[in-house]
Structure 1
Amino acid sequence: MARETWATRIGFILAAVGSAVGLGNIWRFPFQTGQEGGAAFLLVYLLFVVAIGFPAILVEFVIGRRTNLNAVGSLRELGGGAWRYVGWLFVVTGFVILSYYSVVAGWFARYLVVGVTDGFTVTTEAEAAELFGIVSTGLDSLVFHAIFMALVIGIVAMGVRRGIELAVKVMVPAIILFLIGLAAYGTTLDGAGAAYAYYLSPDFGVVVDNWTSLLPAAAGQAFFTLSLGMGVMITYASYLGEDRNLATDAGVIVFLDTAIAVLVGFVVFPFIFAAGTDPGQIAVGAIFFSLTQAFATLPFGTLLGIVFFGVVTIAALSSAISILEVLVSYLIDEHPIDRLPATLGAGGAIFLLGVPVTLDLVFLDLLDGLADGVLLVLGALILVVFVGWVIPDVGLSELGQGITSVDPWDDIWLWMVRLPIVIVLVVALALGALDYLEFLRVDFAAWLGS
């Protein structure tokens, strides 16, 4: 069976941006920013994206394009030995992430339906919390989890060109345009000035005092939003031709993803301040409380809410198809399975793993903490060690493809990958693992005992 390829350069870039611009940017980024000190977190996050994210995405690109294989097959072909088993980490990571990602995406889709059918009328935190309880757990959550996974399965089953590439060419530009419009509207809200000050004026004392939580949070968020450490960019790059300048494409993708993440802050925080909510309290569910209250009181609030929740649902879909493609490409490449049964099988198994999340939110914390604090950073660490120390010549050779002249930055990239990035990732992984163990010891143990 001939391996599929991207039809156009813009198709690849939009697919990679679409993978990055999803719930990680629109749902996760605001509450991480709020919990970790506003502008202090934004500053550390941006440093991570530039110093770690950009070199790391190139690591995944060179592996994928060199082999034209999935994440498991790529490490088996290039590394052999024990490396043949390491690629399984990315399959497991994608499996875990998409299982709860689909549930959360279903919440946004359900809120979209609420806006269309009933409008946003909740005006108190108690009413907003009651609505979130109905949406986030129980039958509603299960049904919309199933609907969302069915959409993801349908798009991925159609293939790279007819499914993924066509979908993202529509979805990603729409996401960007709607977010720009919402951000422009946010400038008119009461409290917008305070929101921008909170978001853009970092307190360096917070960075110094809270670095042990800021570092793993920023690292995990950077990798989550760039879809790194889960095999997505290896898989997408495996559909590329040799005539493409990987560094240029990576730069465009990282810039667009980061710009959209920052733009989301200009959308969400003015709404949160307009609702009178403490931004430090916008946890997983509280962001829904704040936004639904804001939409209930703002002029044209229901229309704004429909647009916002619609945009997030589309963004979540663009990310979810990339994660499922990691698993499907593995099944197609490594086993004699056609795309349709591979997609149905992988998507169905992911749906089943996500069912507990629809029953109790403790399972969301359990899975998200494992993926964000441990698996993503561990996956990125393994890849940079692999390319930087095991196959450095292959990495440099592949990076040079599609470049007409020798680029002196290539050697700098290799040494960035070999030393500073490895050190930072080791520290972030250690801190993230300790945080997760503390969650298991205290929060999850308390839930088990209740």
Structure 2
Amino acid sequence: MASNRGEFSSSLGFIMAAAGSAIGLGNIWGFPTQTAQNGGAAFVLMYLILAFLVGYPLLMAEFVIGRHTRSNPVGAYQKMKGGKNFVPAGFIGILTSSLILSFYSIIAGTMMAHFVEPIFRLLGANAIADWCISNDPIRNITFTTIFFLLTISIITGGVKSGIEKWSSRLMPALLVMLIMLTIYVLTLNGAGEGVKIYLLPDFKKAFTGELLLGALGQSFFSLSLGVGTMLVYGSYISNKENLPRLGILVTLADVGIAFLAGLMIIPAIYVAANAGTQIFDEGGNLISGPNLVFQVLPEVFKIMGGLGIPAAIIFFLLMSVAALTSSISMLEVPVAYMVDAGKASRKTATWVIGGIFWIVGLIIAFGGDAILNMVVSLTTQYSQPLLGLVICVFIGWVAHRNTIIEEIKKGSPDIENTFFMKTWPFFVKFISPLLILIVFLKQFF
């Protein structure tokens, strides 16, 4: 059955694809933005703790369900004993993933526009370059559409020839570009102040409701949890693979890239401030949101003189690549549902679903910042963690323990007496859902 659906050809190919899904604008744009909004190092600390205490156990739960059922989020609950009542959560996951893709493509399109802008400058086409970084609605439509077409073209290729092939090419390129830029930024005047803000936590800020909800939402968003992305990728994993090892490698890659991105962008903000750029808003808070990347970083590139244009090209290419490795995983969730249900061929499913959520993306783009912020908050801060809670309840309390153990033993026969099997079931049953609930309750009360 797995061969009809497609399968990753190697563990490296899977890690590149899963890490590619996890490592996207959530890490390189969202994580530094959230860090700037929430007081620097305190947020970094809580994000790291929650990524391992909540993120990793949940990631493993999705891998187990996916590989065991060889299905999408809806089909998986339909196939597993006790899962019938959880089918609505599967549909909500597919919808959430698709909505994230819609708003994500707007931001990703803006990244692509900023990537081509310095190229047009080099060619002397200044009018086109100015248009690329304007807030013109036609510009938004154009680049959102280009990004959607790239995403669709990769997904039509399937698992091995599409997702795995492109993730294996794009991920190493992304890592090399990120390391080069981070090293360079850290040599500039003013970077030291940013490093202090980023690495020395103010523990008084660490336990505020807003910071904890942001850190939890960020760990879900950056690891692509709750919406079925990792469940679907898990359904393409060979039975020979060791799931706990794959899970820890994907989590480490995701957290590592997020940390590295913050180490580049937070110091870069202070480099810009050192050169006279306004980095605080009227309330005295650090500029955050999309403005963080689109206002502050171009100023940093100007400081670089002759190196500024190539650095800008590399940085926004990096952002576009990161966005693409994530968007393909988001589109794969509803496509997998249509293909598994026998409703359409992969090619038809990809174009139909891609077209529908391209239109949704354009509606969000025309709605302005208020609609965009509402959709971002609804999907990443509320829907994703709540769907994660549902998965914890299902794996921890409803699914048969023997079924889960047998699935994990396929790629690691000696797993039963290991530290992982002594702790993971307890975490997914008690600790992870409890932490999700505490963070939610802290936010509301």
TM-score by length of 1: 0.90
Post-superposition shift, 1:318?
A: 0.4
Post-superposition shift, 1:186?
A: 1.2
Question: How has the CA–CA distance of structure 1 residues 83 and 259 changed in structure 2, closer, same or farther, with 3 Å as cutoff?
Answer: same
Match of 2:372 in 1: 364
User: Which of 266, 273, 277 in structure 1 is aligned with 2:263?
Assistant: 266
| Matches of 1:58 and 1:273, distance apart in 2 | 38
Per-residue Cα deviation, 1:165-191 (whole angstroms, up to 9, x for no partner): 110111000000000000110121111
Post-superposition shift, 1:120?
A: 13
Letter matched to residue 379 of structure 2: A
| Matches of 1:372 and 1:178, distance apart in 2 | 27
Match of 1:47 in 2: 49
Match of 2:321 in 1: 314
Question: How has the CA–CA distance of structure 1 residues 179 and 164 changed in structure 2, closer, same or farther, with 3 Å as cutoff?
Answer: same
Once the two structures are overlaid, the 10-residue window that deviates more, 61-70 or 270-279, is 270-279
Contact kept in structure 2, 1:396 and 1:414, CA below 8 Å? no
Question: How has the CA–CA distance of structure 1 residues 342 and 13 changed in structure 2, closer, same or farther, with 3 Å as cutoff?
Answer: same
* Structure 1 unaligned residues grouped into runs of 5+: 122-130, 436-450
Post-superposition shift, 1:241?
A: 1.7
Match of 1:302 in 2: 309
Question: How has the CA–CA distance of structure 1 residues 133 and 170 changed in structure 2, closer, same or farther, with 3 Å as cutoff?
Answer: closer
SS of 2:417 mapped into structure 1: coil
| Matches of 2:52 and 2:310, distance apart in 1 | 36
Matched, 1:397 2:406: yes
Once the two structures are overlaid, the 10-residue window that deviates more, 389-398 or 53-62, is 389-398
Match of 1:193 in 2: 192
User: Which of 222, 226, 233 in structure 1 is aligned with 2:223?
Assistant: 226
The count of residues paired between Structure 1 and Structure 2 equals 424
Match of 2:214 in 1: 217
Contact kept in structure 1, 2:101 and 2:327, CA below 8 Å? yes
| Matches of 1:207 and 1:72, distance apart in 2 | 37
Match of 2:91 in 1: 88
Match of 2:79 in 1: 77
Letter matched to residue 287 of structure 1: V
Aligned pairs for 1:235-384 (under 5 A) are 235-276=232-273, 277-278=279-280, 280-299=286-305, 300-359=307-366, 360-384=368-392
Post-superposition shift, 1:430?
A: 4.2
Post-superposition shift, 1:411?
A: 3.1
Once the two structures are overlaid, the 10-residue window that deviates more, 283-292 or 169-178, is 283-292
Match of 1:60 in 2: 62
| Matches of 2:379 and 2:217, distance apart in 1 | 9
Matched, 1:421 2:432: yes
Contact kept in structure 2, 1:135 and 1:141, CA below 8 Å? no
| Matches of 1:100 and 1:325, distance apart in 2 | 16
Per-residue Cα deviation, 1:414-439 (whole angstroms, up to 9, x for no partner): 1111111111112334456x49xxxx
| Matches of 2:379 and 2:86, distance apart in 1 | 21
Once the two structures are overlaid, the 10-residue window that deviates more, 381-390 or 356-365, is 356-365
Letter matched to residue 162 of structure 1: S
| Matches of 1:60 and 1:195, distance apart in 2 | 36
| Matches of 1:120 and 1:428, distance apart in 2 | 51
* Structure 2 unaligned residues grouped into runs of 5+: 125-129, 274-278
Contact kept in structure 2, 1:5 and 1:160, CA below 8 Å? yes
User: Which of 106, 129, 149 in structure 2 is aligned with 1:103?
Assistant: 106
| Matches of 1:167 and 1:353, distance apart in 2 | 26
Among all aligned residue pairs of Structure 1 and Structure 2, give the percentage whose two residues are the same amino acid. 34
Post-superposition shift, 1:323?
A: 0.5
Post-superposition shift, 1:303?
A: 1.0
| Matches of 2:136 and 2:394, distance apart in 1 | 41
| Matches of 1:32 and 1:135, distance apart in 2 | 24
TM-score by length of 2: 0.91
Per-residue Cα deviation, 1:270-323 (whole angstroms, up to 9, x for no partner): 221111124722222233100111112223111111100001001100000001
Match of 2:164 in 1: 165
Match of 2:182 in 1: 183
| Matches of 1:10 and 1:177, distance apart in 2 | 17
Match of 1:124 in 2: none
Question: How has the CA–CA distance of structure 1 residues 162 and 100 changed in structure 2, closer, same or farther, with 3 Å as cutoff?
Answer: same
Question: How has the CA–CA distance of structure 1 residues 94 and 135 changed in structure 2, closer, same or farther, with 3 Å as cutoff?
Answer: farther
Match of 1:410 in 2: 421
Match of 1:443 in 2: none
| Matches of 1:291 and 1:235, distance apart in 2 | 35
SS of 1:275 mapped into structure 2: helix
Match of 1:127 in 2: none
Question: How has the CA–CA distance of structure 1 residues 258 and 119 changed in structure 2, closer, same or farther, with 3 Å as cutoff?
Answer: farther
